[in-house]
Structure 1
Amino acid sequence: MHAPDQAELLTLLGTGLAVVGADLRVAWINPALGEMLDVGPRTAVGQPLGQLLREPSLASQLARTTAEGRGFNLRDATFGTARGRDITADLALQPIGDGRVLVEVHPLAPDLSASDTPLSATLRGFAHEVKNPLAGLRGAAQLLQRRVADDDLRQLAAMVIAEADRLAALADGLLRHGGAARIGPVNIHELLERLEGLVSAEAEAPRVRHDYDPSLPDVIGDNDRLLQVLLNLTRNAGEAGARSITLRTRIEHGARLGERTVRAALRVDVMDDGPGVADELRDVLFLPLVSGRPDGTGLGLALSREIALEHGGDLRYVSRPGDTVFSLYLPMERTHE
């Protein structure tokens, strides 16, 4: 496999890039900018940049860049995307010859409203930070998928691409003020099979066992966000030293969820044989920036509990050395709403 050439390296960059011709139409964009604008790179080529970046002063600044042969910057520019999402970014315009302009788009962290909780503010900040690296990761995986001949390696690259897309969608949800979850029927056992595939693909993964209630109906929720909760829990168990994880599903009648009692709740237990939760973390485990590992971000469990609450459910745990159980509760009544 040869080293990536300059064009391929530009494709892999997390910074949003576009080349615009003298007619102000897009000649090329990289995947990172396509992701920001909710448009595929092939679809974007040939379109006026002003239709993709709906910013009033952009056209005049591009013309000025070409006419004067020098770069310009647009600070705190706000533009809309194909899906109606607003983005605030710094834009750098640089002439590169033949009337063409290189446009760099550097998104800024969104302003957090006073109504945001500290948890939401922290998670949105985190989501903003991971967006660009995810775009670079996805681009690298696409390049590998095209280059390798081995079917198993191509399948692993496809898994990386799918996971990058899922995480980018989650980050978008956190960055979007008042953004609603993508609600639909969720087959919990199909979701757990997908989870097992992701866990087993990781190095030194613990053994995964099942204890399912096959009679469980679908629940209503956001499939990707619920997968993120369970993936966080299983990865935490593995990183804590668990050798075995059991995934158990049950119906719990008369479950207490927050301030209300529901007739029935789906309970998904992630059980592990690791060392358990340290005593000093037991009362603060779900707070942001709290981690039992020196290299931990302290965001995984905070995000997981917020997603559970968003679904009208809860996330709880009981722990002792050799026997830790995290339980995700989802109300069954939502199925009939």
Structure 2
Amino acid sequence: MSDPAWQAWAQQLATGIVLVDARLRLRWLNPALVEELELGVRHPLGQPLTLLFADGDEAAARAARVLAAQRPAQWRAVSLAAASGREIRADIALQPFDGGLLLEVHVLAEPLAASSPLSATLRGFAHEVKNPLAGLRGAAQLLQRRVDNDDLQALAGMIIDEADRLGALANRLLHHDGAARLGPVNIHQLLERLADLLQAESAPPQWRHDYDPSVPDLRGDADRLHQLLLNLARNALEAGARTLTLRTRVEHGVRLGERMLRTALRLELIDDGAGIPAGLRDSLFEPLVSGRADGTGLGLALSREIAREHGGELRGASRPGETVFTLYLPLERMHEH
């Protein structure tokens, strides 16, 4: 590309960027799109734009019309073709640029099965957190070596462990082994681990546990489910919650959309924080929606993706003084696999 500053900026985006020349040949793709399309060592530069689309001829004809008109255009739910043959649905914004066209590719999230890779939202998040995680881990290691107090060393060790867990999770999302790693998960052990972690906060919340001892192990990815629970708990604390209640129950005949679960875990995280702003309740789980000026709006969107990846669902409800996030997860999966 002719503008190194522009290219450096586009390389950092989780959104796919493509530049084609006047003959609709590929001049440049950013790393996010190269990864999404699984191009790997294939060198697409100089190839026709048709390479990227499931119906390449139609895409080329439409792109030619945009180029001739010299006006921006929006394509909805277009099918891209990954190198492996997998089709990817995306919305694409096109605009004339530097004698050719610039395409901004927004991959659409799809319903996720337990064996499917997570969506571009999660992979984009994983890409963004890797560098700060490395710095966090390095600082914790330095502290652990310099302090003599056993409690402080233990806290530094907890930071290192969490950084390693998140780093491993990010690596799995960013590479082709991004599918969930399913195994038996004791949900009560995950909840106790969550409570122990948040006790290290400067002002830890009060915890109330209301566990159903009959809840069996479920089949899931423990690290991802831990991240889901951590996101919910941190949201509650950031909303001013002082008390968190964790409740588990076994339910039968749970309807999730068009599906009926014979047996499901119902896990509720209840807090006494400020609650969900009325204007956000309909869009609560959308990416980049946040009730805080400094919020990223990713936590709840990612949490719902993880729930759906496990065949479950995450719901939220709020009234003054009480916010309840309810997680449903199938329990029959342990017996079906």
Alignment TM-score > 0.5, same fold: yes
| Partner in structure 2 of residue 238 of structure 1 | 237
Structure 1 length normalisation: TM-score? 0.65
| Partner in structure 2 of residue 314 of structure 1 | 313
CA deviations on 1:224-263 (whole Å, 9 max, x unpaired) are 1001111111110111011111000101111112321011
Percent of aligned pairs with the same residue? 69
* 1:147 Cα offset (Å): 2.1
Q: Does structure 1 residue 253 correspond to structure 2 residue 252?
A: yes
Q: Which runs of 4+ in 1 moved over 3 A?
A: 113-116
* Cα distance between partner residues in 2 of 1:261 and 1:247: 25
- Which amino acid counterpart does residue 180 of structure 1 have in structure 2? A
| Partner in structure 1 of residue 266 of structure 2 | 267
| Partner in structure 2 of residue 172 of structure 1 | 171
* Cα distance between partner residues in 2 of 1:237 and 1:252: 25
Mark the CA change 1:240 to 1:123 in structure 2 (over 3 Å): closer, same or farther: same
* Cα distance between partner residues in 1 of 2:143 and 2:189: 28
* Cα distance between partner residues in 2 of 1:219 and 1:179: 20
1:58-73 alignment, distance < 5 Å: none
CA deviations on 1:162-188 (whole Å, 9 max, x unpaired) are 110111122223323562111110011
Q: Report the number of matched residues.
A: 232
* 1:296 Cα offset (Å): 0.4
- Which amino acid counterpart does residue 159 of structure 1 have in structure 2? M
| Partner in structure 2 of residue 24 of structure 1 | none
- Structure 2: segments with no counterpart, 5+ residues: 1-29, 32-39, 43-82, 90-106, 111-118
- Secondary structure in 1 aligned to 2:253? strand
Q: CA RMSD in A?
A: 2.3
- Which amino acid counterpart does residue 155 of structure 1 have in structure 2? A
| Partner in structure 2 of residue 187 of structure 1 | 186
| Partner in structure 2 of residue 228 of structure 1 | 227
User: Does the 8 Å contact 1:253/1:263 carry over to 2?
Assistant: yes
* Cα distance between partner residues in 1 of 2:153 and 2:272: 34
- Structure 1: segments with no counterpart, 5+ residues: 1-74, 77-85, 89-110
* Cα distance between partner residues in 2 of 1:212 and 1:244: 16
- Secondary structure in 2 aligned to 1:326? strand
User: Does the 8 Å contact 2:307/2:313 carry over to 1?
Assistant: yes
| Partner in structure 2 of residue 117 of structure 1 | 108
* 1:124 Cα offset (Å): 1.9
- Which amino acid counterpart does residue 156 of structure 1 have in structure 2? L
User: Does the 8 Å contact 2:173/2:179 carry over to 1?
Assistant: no
User: Does the 8 Å contact 1:258/1:314 carry over to 2?
Assistant: no
User: Does the 8 Å contact 2:214/2:250 carry over to 1?
Assistant: no
| Partner in structure 2 of residue 198 of structure 1 | 197
- Secondary structure in 1 aligned to 2:332? helix
CA deviations on 1:140-176 (whole Å, 9 max, x unpaired) are 2112212221110110011001110111122223323
- Which amino acid counterpart does residue 276 of structure 1 have in structure 2? G
- Secondary structure in 1 aligned to 2:160? helix
| Partner in structure 1 of residue 210 of structure 2 | 211
Mark the CA change 1:278 to 1:147 in structure 2 (over 3 Å): closer, same or farther: same
* Cα distance between partner residues in 1 of 2:141 and 2:207: 29
1:40-119 alignment, distance < 5 Å: 114-115=88-89, 116-117=107-108
- Secondary structure in 2 aligned to 1:172? helix
User: Does the 8 Å contact 2:121/2:302 carry over to 1?
Assistant: no
- Which amino acid counterpart does residue 143 of structure 1 have in structure 2? L
Comparing 159-168 with 177-186, greater Cα deviation is found at 177-186
